[in-house]
Structures are given as C-alpha cells and as structure tokens.
Amino acid sequence: MGNAARPDLTFWKYHGLGNDFVLVERAASEAAHLRERGIVEKLCDRRHGVGADGVLLFDRDVDSAHARMVLLNKDGSRPEMCGNGVRCIVRHLVEEHDVSEPVVDIATDAGIRSCRWKADGETADRWQVSVMMGPADVSAEPVEVDGGDFGDFTFWRVNMGNPHAVAFEGASTETVDAIGRMLNDDPRFPEGVNVEFVEVSVEEPSDPRLDVVVFERGVGRTLACGTGACGAAAAWWYNHGGIRDGRGVTVGLPGGDLEIEVVDGELRMTGPVRSVFKGQLASDALSD
C-alpha cells in the first residue's frame, strides 16, 4: 500500500515593520517536530518556500490567555519573546477568530503579554497594537568588545525576556553583521544575544529619537525588532535619568518607527502590523 498523501499546509503571512513571519495554527508542542524535520527553514526560505524571518505557532488551547505564541527563528532556534510577532498574533486572533475584546492576553515563553489593539478604517488596513513588554533589566556593568578591524565597542546588557546587547554607536551593515556574529559566538553570551547599534538623532528630553539597527540571534539583520527597540530605549533611559513612569521615546528602525513608553514600571511598545496574504504550501515543498 502507498503512503497517504500529506495535506497541504495552510499559512498566513504577516509583518511588523518588515519583520515578517509565516503563521501556522499548530500547538506549541509541535515546535520540536517542525524544527527536527527542517520545516521551519523550508517555510522561511525566500526562494523555495514562503519567505520570512521566522515561523509563528498560533495555539488557542491555553487557559491563561486568549492565545499562545511560539516563535521559531529561520534557523530553527526558539527565542523567548518577539514584540513584532506578538502584534501579528493579536491581529490573527481578532480577524481569524472573531475576538472582539480591545485588550487581549498572549502567552509567550517569556510570560503573558497584555495587548491593546485598534484598527482604523473599515478595511482594517491601519492596525496599531500596543504590547506591555514587561520590565527591562539593565546590567550595571557594560561589556567591552574588541572588534578587531571593526573597532572597539561598549555594549549594555538588557534583558527584555530575551537577551540584548546595546551599543550607542552607529555602524555600517558590514560591521553590524560581523559584530553580531562575533557576539553570538562569545562565551559571555552563552544563549546568544540580539545586538543593537543605536544612533541618537534627537536628544530633546521631552521627545528623543533613537535610530537602531538590529542583528537578531538566529536570523541576522532584520528590518525591525520590538524587543530590540525596547532594549535600546531602556539602555538610553538607564544612562539618562533612569527608567521611570512617564518616559517615552520614538525608536526608528529600518522598517519604520515604534513608540516605547514606561507605564507602571513596564515598557509599552506600540506599532503597526500588516496582513500580507493567506495561502497553502504544497506538501511536496515540505518533503525531505
């Protein structure tokens, strides 16, 4: 007898400021299976698959929240948290599962994130989602890095549920890639690290602006990173009067802007999310 035909895989494509994801409705428990079979890499392949920075697993079988998110980076690694991914999960929950509450809770590997969404216009093309990203933990001692031909850098460690290293220096794309890879092989960051290079373009205390380029562990340079934007803001505030309620900053990323604020001791991130398309990937595209 021949093997039963494998069904095609239904997926949705979303992005937050160009940080793009393939979303599949699969239980969080299937993450290891998808990694072991190489399905994540195949879905994220921009020539032979759908193309994305990562795969979002969307699961409603959870008691403590409206939905659960698991992110698998394009290399198969599993980060604890992703701000842009959470915003995509919220839009999917509302549009595909008819959830109407203005505030929804999303369970992540870094804990539950409370989100507020707003869709402007009848077509819901203009979506904004605010995510309570939790408190920022900034280490008191910076990390000095000898970048060889790329120069020396001072990085501030920030934990946003996942690890970050923030340098207040601009850098070329070549330098970002080289130092990003270097730090992800550095024993001082045994779990890897997201690396942010920050240029302060506006230093007005009431309306500062930080321009950030991010090298994400497991992905490389991305157009946007929500936790990276929060990490950059937290490191800036830590060195300029402290992380306290009422502070806010605009963080510019290659894909667009995010607004970061401090509310009740937590960082709140606000930004857009776009729905790109829904499709089916032929089963033979996922075969070995």
Catalytic residues: 82, 225
Dihedral Cα 259, 265, 266, 271, nearest 10 deg: -20
Residue 29 is encoded by which pair of tokens? 């428990």
Residue keyed to tokens 């995509």:
88
Cα separation, 3 vs 138, in Å, equals: 54
Rounded to 5°, the CA angle 53-85-69 comes to 115
| Residue 9, CB-side half-sphere exposure with 13 Å CA sphere | 24
d(CA 104, CA 90) in angstroms, rounded, equals 8
Kindly tell me the number of DSSP H helices and DSSP E strands found in the chain.
5, 18
Residue 251, strand partner residues: 210, 258
Q: Is 125 exposed, middle or buried (0-12, 13-18, 19+ CB in 10 A)?
A: exposed
Instruction: Identify the CA nearest to 151 among candidates 181, 172, 120, 166.
Output: 172
Plot region of 19 (φ>0 → left; ψ -120 to 50 → alpha; else → beta): beta
By residue count, the chain amounts to 288
Q: How many whole angstroms separate alpha carbon 190 and alpha carbon 193? A: 8
Report phi then psi at 22, rounded to 5.
-100, 120
Return the C-alpha torsion angle 253, 183, 30, 17, nearest 10: 0
